[in-house]
Structure 1
Amino acid sequence: MYKVLIVDDEKHVRDRMMQTFPWGELGFEVTGSVENGGEALKLLRAGTPDLVCTDIMMPDVNGLELAKHIHEQHPRIKVVILSAYDDFKYAQDAIRYGVKGYLLKPLVKGEFIEVFRRMADELDRDNRDEGQLNRQEALLIRLLKGSGRDEGEWQRQATALFGPARYIRIVICAVEQLAGTEPSSLWQQAIMRKSQEFWKRLFAPVLFYGNHLVVFLHDTRPISKQDIKDQLHRFKERLHDDLTAAGLAAGGITIGVGNAYDGIEHIAKSYNEAIYAGSFQFFRGKDAVIFKQDLAGSFDGVRKADDDRLNGLIDELVDSVLTRSEHEVVKAHTAFFAEMEQSALYSIQDIRMKSSEAYLLLLLKAKEKKIGLAAPKKQEALETIQGFGTLHELKLWYRQELAAFSRGREEYKPVEGNRYILAAKDYVEKHYPNKVRLEEIAEQLHINPSYFSSIFKKATGENFIDYVNGVRIAKAAQFIYQTDHKISEISMMVGFDNFSYFNKIFKKKTGVTPLMYRAQGLPEHHWERREEVHEDAEDEV
């Protein structure tokens, strides 16, 4: 278990983090909890944890000062920032001090798991004996960490790898792996192979590190955005096509690009900038190429956002719903989100909080006017708003909720995405013998594949791929019990191309192998699929 120190001046936040999140499942153990950076420094002198999760705004020594001390005195310790202040200034300082992750308050379980899974992967790599690593891979990891720059051997190896190149630019690529697909190791190997094939003509090393692919672009002249923009888009499209052709279902592909620098000693800085750029997938979507240099201009000279106009738009939004004018609802919804999206002054957390504020105001006004709205539980709705990974998904969900409100109680479906789930189940029932792809169903329903995957899991309690396999196994059980077909034939009849995989899934679902199932004469209702829609399923904390 990796040891974690939590630093936050709010006791209820520390307690909730320790008691609520699945630390053990991710390979971590919370061994300390203190209220400010000064107390943390005392513990660091007594013994070093593997990771520090710290708030920014604290009395005495704040989170950035603590991160700076750790970066200078304990470079092996990972630091994750925990803060409600999601703006460029703090993130820029965090990059300078080597911070590896960011968590925004209020905390969402899905985001926590994503960040700490990546931290565990980095710690695993750090603790692996470098002698077991490929020499080039070991060198690239050291470059990303910014360690060993003063060692002669390090310089010699780096020069041999990059040749006469003076200029560097780091690119990270995060490929969304849909639930229920290939094991993570096979997934990573496939991405590495395809990426190496693409970048070998430019002699650009690639590395899978921190749960994403890293590309080390280098040249004898400065590497401008114009030089690589089209190339990165081609790489993204090629990678998606190659993975699909290999039978590996991929979701969105987000590419983050750090700034260009003169000198390989700046690789760690460009890498951290690329990670920060990649985090802006919330605004750009999970299928974008995002340059760090484009983000700085949006936040330079940040001024206090003028909330007067936005508050007026919230009032218009609430009024449109309560008057049950669906046309006005669409118009008000568009104006509300456009104001936040186009101003470039609202952070991810600002947008989540304003969306929550509008939702709560709607419920309050409806209660005051004695208008009945069949809405999800307030806490469930707020957690849903906090849990969306992209602005597109949040806007889509919000529009569907508001339109349902305006049409009236009779037409409202209390279970999120219920009509999508029923349509998807109907599609699976009709097409289970063929190849059933999540992306195809999402396209037919006109919704984002990631969003569909999320609401399907929340409504049914299982991943889409697991559900499809469950339907196929249920059909196979019927055929085994009712017919004399060979089991290998039944496997093909229900949509399994790989017979050994069919056997594995059949035993997992029924508890016995297909042969034992037939030998024992078990009826098809020997086991039952879970078909109910769970109204209280939760993916976030």
Structure 2
Amino acid sequence: MINLLIVDDQKHIRDGLQAMVRQFPLQPDSIYCAGNGIEALQLLRQNSIQLVITDIRMPDMDGLTLMAHAREEHITADYLIISGYGDFAYAQKAIELGAKGYLLKPVNREDLQASVEHVWQEIRTRQALSRNMEQLSRLARETDRKELSLYMQGSVSDEVWVGETEQQNAELWRSYRLCLLREERRINQPGASSAHSMESIAYRVYGSEGCICLQHRPHLILAVDASVPTDKLPAALKTAQIGATAVMTGPQQGLKALPCAYTEVQELYRHSYLFPELRCLLPENTAGLMQQWQLPHEELYALFRFIGADNDGKIAEGISMLFHKDVLQRYHIQYTDRLCRAVVQMLEEYEWVIRPYMGEDALDIESLRNLYDYPGIRDYIQALQQQMLRLNHFYYEFKCSYRNSQDLNEAIRFIHENYHKPLDLAMVSNHVSLNYAYFSNLFKKNVGKGFAEYLRDVRLDKARRLLAETEYKIVEITPLVGYESYKSFTRAFREVMGMQPTEYRQMIRRK
């Protein structure tokens, strides 16, 4: 039995969705309708409803709040989200709450049918799995999955527990692999599959005695019979049209090897980002990766030289070269991880320079800090390129804002050439032959900050480079960047950077 609930604050949309569903080959037993989340929650409390199609934005209670309340009340249902707003944040939150799909208005009949049928099949699979649970082995019924999972992740357990647990399925623990399934998710992709469907397929492939589920989230981890060919589970997932990448350790012997196997499978999971073309990643696929490397600093600097040059093509080309798969696949995943961090650090440095001129706009650098937050490395590179192009746009506009002012250009050039000398607003205004007050207003209006603040930032930018790239002592750097005393330099540095120059140098060297 499968019942359906349609939730939308617009009646004509509810009626339209209901009419579409009535035309599908698979028909629910009952279709309920609600005009907002409050009505929907009441229907979920009163009826057995397996699938909810809901709008996100509604008065009184929106779709995301509905899902959250239902989960708090332990009301079990699957959700398809429909919204007129193509907003990644909404989709991400919906998926975190367990949504099986995210569709945009106006809803396409074919996409809706594909989503409903996919979730329908998952519900039926889950129901069948639930009915068959009593037929599973004594191990599947009695093993405390949580305790076994904690042991896998490094929790200390006594020898008695290890021995008893191992004996409950001695055949499997004699020779097994750890298998992690990384589900492929895409925003707006109908009917994203769940760990329950993959788990049920794994039990069909390995049998109830040859498979134990150890973890559902954030990724499904299974202990599976090592004698079964490694390509059998990926093939079954492909046949079921479930997009997932499998990583499997080498054969393990004994339950005591489980914590080390967990470390190995996590390492393989990270390496799966380097080999998106492989549906099953094995230790032999990463055995030849080089462990020593040097980051391509010159290429990085060359890439960032295009910032502000209004040449998006060169930036995209530079990113493609830096992150070319033939290069990344030579090295341990740490190379890719460090390369990502180096690019993010340079993005931060460039953004810091023009942050005062960006107004309320800003780069989303936080979203780039962790490669593994993305479905795959291609998604990460696309997000990185988007932020690079935004930075390029900001820099180009910043440069254009005063490019037509020859006097201001000359003043800025003069500052950059003479920042290490005693310098004040009067000297610079005299250099460009402008009235003191007029030049002060012109400078602040076009540059976005006052002369003193700008000069301070130029000097501190040079100081940061000297701290990072030379062995000069702080007292030696002080006059090189235009400060008369050690005390005035360190005070200015601390006010801007929130740390002493020596602390900054130590931080950069650690990085």
Q: After TM superposition, is the score higher than 0.5?
A: no
Which one has more relative contact order, counting CA pairs under 8 Å at least 6 apart? 1
Taking structure 1 as the reference length, the TM-score comes to 0.37
Compare CA radii of gyration and give the structure with the larger one.
2
